[in-house]
Amino acid sequence: VTELVDRLEAQILEASPALARLLSPLGRRAAFPPDIPFQAAQAQGTTFNGTIGQITDGAGRPVPLPSLARGLEGLEVSLRDRALLYSPVPGFPELRASWRRRQRRGVSDDRPSTTPLVTVGLTHGLALVADLFGGEDRPIAVPSPFWGNYRQTFELRTGARIVSAPAYVDGRYNCDAMAQALADEPPGRPAVAILNLPSNPGGYSLTRDERGRVIDSLVAVADQRPLLVVCDDAYAGLVYEEAIPSAPVFWDLVGRHPNLVPVKIDGATKEVSFFGGRVGFVTFPFEPGSEVEAALESKLKCLVRAGVGSPVAASQALLLAALENEDLDSEVEAIRLELGRRYRALRDALAGIDRELVSPLPFNSGCFALLELAARAGVTSEALRRHLLDHHDTGVVAIAPRFVRVALCSVAERSLPELVERLMTGVSELAAR
């Protein structure tokens, strides 16, 4: 195993010295061991295959319990069979290939990307990246406010250290937030930055001009230190303004600077509205079939197996069937159009509110809008949240100290003006106390 670990590290070093320096201690020692899944993969196709601990008919097909298989009746038999058996550790090969084609629509051939590895939803992809590249005292730059779970995934689990700078300054997106967050780190110290666009909780995507400025800012950081940019593309494609580019920033970062390695985390959760399926993907900016791809895949497979055994075959079968359906794109587009209507309803409702009490931060995409309660109103977001629950039959998410997140994705278009009205009534009531 030590030999295998050394070989993987040499392969990563060869392709990207920066990435090798970014590995955490756990990332360094992770390697897919040559045990049962490895041996079972080698034995695939043998007539007398007694390798793998799943119950089959002796010819590789499941022995499905009818009361379980019935729920999957809508899948063709071969996919239903696969839904019931273990998935390969890196995921179904056709699903990985299919998702890769989908990711690369409109992307030029000179931007390499690995065959995406399947994870148990996007959080699992983030956790795997945290395991590989987080660890004790590693700085993780995230513009603030950010999705709170980054703290658990990177900091609590691995001992990394989240560093932050405001995502908005003077009511506009702060393109230098990540560079500012890392400004105090000694030059040369490897760092991680999390780029989540469309953002949660902000619902924000970059304008063309801002996109250039964010990239320049990250490249300047990479002049100073190895930098892993985690592109959390959970909300990819959910963009509602014509002028806003919707292609993931990941592709603009591929090959931009030898010290800057982007990694793409995306998946079916929001892109295909399959929240309950837990299918995500991790993609690196390297050629499929390359040694560095295999080395990273060995490490990821080791951690997938150690943490969850294998990804969810049932959900992969359902997703694969959907991706093979030619209606899928128009179904996804219909969701985007519906969310676009909600976005406009919310934007319009917020246009008329009292800015002395509440400022909407700019939003144009994704699932959320972020509001900032005016300091002078003296209302915390947590007090407002409880007040809205208790007295106005309304739920919002409070982000300390004075941010409020509204999920437009879970409120009907017609209800959004009323939600805004109740929220403003609540703020007024509390401010008047």
Which conformational region is residue 393 in: left (phi greater than 0), alpha (psi within -120 to 50 degrees), or beta? left
Minimum distance between the CB of residue 54 and a second copy, rounded to whole angstroms? 5
Of 295 and 303, nearer to a second copy (C-beta) is 303
Of 226 and 277, nearer to a second copy (C-beta) is 277
Tokens for 172? 């506009």
Q: Is the dihedral of CA 123, 327, 92, 96 positive or negative?
A: negative
Quote the distance between the C-alpha of residue 231 and its chain's center: 7
Quote the distance between the C-alpha of residue 287 and its chain's center: 21
Pick from 123, 94, 44, 52: nearest CA to 316: 94
Of 33 and 288, nearer to a second copy (C-beta) is 33
Of 51 and 359, nearer to a second copy (C-beta) is 51
Pick from 155, 123, 128, 131: nearest CA to 142: 155
In angstroms, the CA 236 to CA 19 distance is: 25
Of 141 and 318, nearer to a second copy (C-beta) is 318
Which conformational region is residue 260 in: left (phi greater than 0), alpha (psi within -120 to 50 degrees), or beta? beta
Minimum distance between the CB of residue 237 and a second copy, rounded to whole angstroms? 12
In angstroms, the CA 315 to CA 323 distance is: 12
Of 118 and 206, nearer to a second copy (C-beta) is 118
Minimum distance between the CB of residue 153 and a second copy, rounded to whole angstroms? 5
Minimum distance between the CB of residue 216 and a second copy, rounded to whole angstroms? 30
Minimum distance between the CB of residue 366 and a second copy, rounded to whole angstroms? 9
Of 190 and 201, nearer to a second copy (C-beta) is 201
Question: First and final CA of the chain: distance in angstroms?
Answer: 66
DSSP string for residues in 161-226: EEEEEESEETTEE-TTHHHHHTTTSPTT--EEEEE-SS-TTT-----HHHHHHHHHHHHHHHTTS-
Minimum distance between the CB of residue 249 and a second copy, rounded to whole angstroms? 20
Of 142 and 317, nearer to a second copy (C-beta) is 317
Minimum distance between the CB of residue 130 and a second copy, rounded to whole angstroms? 9
In angstroms, the CA 413 to CA 223 distance is: 46
Minimum distance between the CB of residue 154 and a second copy, rounded to whole angstroms? 9
Rounded to 5 degrees, φ, ψ at 9 are: -65, -40
> Beta partners for 373?
358
Of 131 and 176, nearer to a second copy (C-beta) is 131
In angstroms, the CA 414 to CA 342 distance is: 8
Of 225 and 392, nearer to a second copy (C-beta) is 392
Pick from 170, 181, 203, 198: nearest CA to 407: 203
Q: What is the longest distance spanned by two Cα atoms in the chain?
A: 78
Rounded to 5 degrees, φ, ψ at 328 are: -55, -45
Minimum distance between the CB of residue 279 and a second copy, rounded to whole angstroms? 9
Minimum distance between the CB of residue 194 and a second copy, rounded to whole angstroms? 15
In angstroms, the CA 351 to CA 331 distance is: 30
